Every structure is written in C-alpha cells, then in structure tokens.
Amino acid sequence: MLGRPPGAPEQLAQVGALIESPTFYPHLSGLDNLRLAARYAGAPESAAERVLAEVDLSGRARSRFREYSLGMKQRLGVAAALLKQPRLLILDEPTNGLDPAGVSEMRELLRSLGRRGHTVLLSSHVLGEVEQVCDRIAVIDRGRLVADGTPDALRARLRSGLLIVVADPQDKAVASLTDHQAVRRVDVVDGSLRVSVDPALAAELNRRLVEAGVDVRELRPVRHSLEDAFLELTGAERVGDPDPTSPGEGDK
C-alpha cells in the first residue's frame, strides 16, 4: 500500500483513519484534543486549527468535546485523521448513528475531501450512502473480493431487465409487447405493465406500441439499486422479499 509493505512506518505516516466512533477527552475542547492528537501523530500543533477548518468546526473549536453533537464528534474524528495530511484516509462507518442532517453533512465532507485530492477508503454497510458518495465500489463477501467497479458498472451486471410501461389501451399494449420475441414476460401491476426485457430495447418497443395504435404515457427502465447488485453478486436473499413483479419503493 502506497508502495510500502503493510504496517511500514513510512506508509503509516501517509495514512489517516477513523474506526467507527472517535474517542476524545470529554473535558477538553475540540481544539485541545486535536493539539494533543497532533503531538502523538508527530504533526505540528498548528495543524489542529487547519483541520478544524477543513471539517467546518472552527466556530466550535473551544467547546468541550462532551458538548458536541454526534455529527460534530464524527467530524472531529475525521479532523484527527487529517492531521498528518494523509494521502489515504480510511473511514469505517462514518455516518453511524447520525441523524439525517448529520448524514448530509458527513456526505458533503467526504465529497469535499475527494475534491481536495485525498483518496478516501470508506467501509460501510449503508449501501445508500455508499451509492451517493463513492466513485468506485468493492464488494466483499465472506472475506473474498467478488466485484469492483463504478456504481453504474455494478448495477449493469444484474441479470434482470425490467421496463415500466403505462399505455392505453392496455390490452392492446400487452398483446403487442408479448408478441415481441425479446420480451420474456409482461405483467399488469397497479395499472401499469412490468415488461421483462433488455432495457436497451426501450426505444424499439415504444415505436412498436405507437405503430400498433397504442398511446404510450410512460415508458422507463427500473433503476436497480446498489443493494440489488450486492444481493445478486453475493448470492444473498432478501428476507420476506416481495414478488419481483410487484412495484418496489422506486416505483411508487
């Protein structure tokens, strides 16, 4: 890692880390806690004020750690990890326990760190957050790397393809679609059609419906989530999973 064997002192000097929940002295201010951490990290104490500004905590620098909200505590932990100006920042579940506002703040902080040239390695089970923040994703199953790539690339590996079609008259639309050799299945669900087919054929199917005298009011692919990709890549099953042809959260 970084051209050195794991654990080499020169390598560790270029790595910052936050493991789930930061621990600081509750009676000391955020600034004093970071000054103390800087001494142990071999960084100048002046770095404390710099990293507080990076995580937008300068205004609460002299407040005691015990007075911080959970989101502020997490950001102070990230600040401590930045003291050495690391090339690689390793963060474990940085949004753990945060309220929606804290999650949003942490999400923007992670994006800003990437824009500033840090490489951020984020370990998390919160796939919705991973999907919104990360440029590349590695999926690990029982200690084994099973896939890696961009979020779009991982979603593209899903075997299933599904289009949602809203059209009138519906029976005529079903007949036209069912007759297409590439369409595997057509189901009527809550007034719309679920068409099992390669989404790349959407334009062709739309043209076919129009030529058949069908008014197409909506035609769109179902966007698979990163969770869908994770479950398929790891062979996991959802507990109490609904019928795949029924509308999911993204279809409401």
* Same domain assignment for residues 122 and 36: yes
Please, what is the average pLDDT of the chain?
A: 86
The first and second tokens of residue 175, run together, are 């007949």
121 assigned to some structural domain: yes
243 assigned to some structural domain: no
- The two beta strands, 162-168 and 215-221, are antiparallel
pLDDT in the model for residue 47: 95
Place 6 in a pLDDT band, splitting at 50, 70 and 90. Answer: confident
196 assigned to some structural domain: yes
* Same domain assignment for residues 52 and 130: yes
Residue 63 CB partners (closer than 8 Å, separation 6+):
29, 30
Whether 65 and 28 have beta carbons less than 8 Å apart is answered as: yes
| Sequence-distant contacts of 63-69: CB under 8 A, at least 24 apart | 63/29, 63/30, 64/26, 64/27, 64/28, 64/29, 65/24, 65/25, 65/26, 65/27, 65/28, 65/29, 65/30, 65/33, 66/26, 66/27, 68/30, 69/102
Q: How far apart are CA 107 and CA 132, in angstroms?
A: 8
* Same domain assignment for residues 120 and 173: no
pLDDT, tens digit (0-9, with 9 covering 90-100), for 47-97? 999 999 989 999 999 999 999 998 899 999 999 999 999 999 999 988 887
Amino acid, single-letter form, for residue 34: L
The SS3 call for residue 175 is helix
* Same domain assignment for residues 111 and 175: no
Structural domain that includes position 120 = 14-134
Place 236 in a pLDDT band, splitting at 50, 70 and 90. Answer: low
pLDDT, tens digit (0-9, with 9 covering 90-100), for 90-116? 999 888 878 888 888 889 988 998 888
* Same domain assignment for residues 110 and 214: no
Q: How many CA atoms lie within 13 A of 194 on its CB side?
A: 16
| Element holding 195 (H helix, E strand) | strand 192-196
* Same domain assignment for residues 108 and 195: no
pLDDT at 190 over 50: yes
- Kindly state the average pLDDT of the residues 210-223: 90
* Same domain assignment for residues 129 and 18: yes
Q: Which residues of 28-51 are buried (b: 16+ CB within 10 A; e: fewer)?
A: ebbbbbbbbbbeebebeeebbebb
Q: How far apart are CA 61 and CA 31, in angstroms?
A: 5
CA angle 211, 212, 216 (to 5 degrees): 80
> CATH number, domain at 172?
3.30.70.100
33 assigned to some structural domain: yes
CA angle 196, 197, 203 (to 5 degrees): 125
pLDDT in the model for residue 160: 60
pLDDT at 181 over 60: yes
* Same domain assignment for residues 78 and 171: no
Number of domains comprising the chain: 2
4 assigned to some structural domain: no
pLDDT, tens digit (0-9, with 9 covering 90-100), for 121-163? 999 888 888 888 999 999 999 889 999 999 888 877 765 678 8
pLDDT at 218 over 80: yes
- Kindly state the average pLDDT of the residues 33-50: 94
149 assigned to some structural domain: no
- Kindly state the average pLDDT of the residues 189-194: 88
pTM for this entry: 0.69
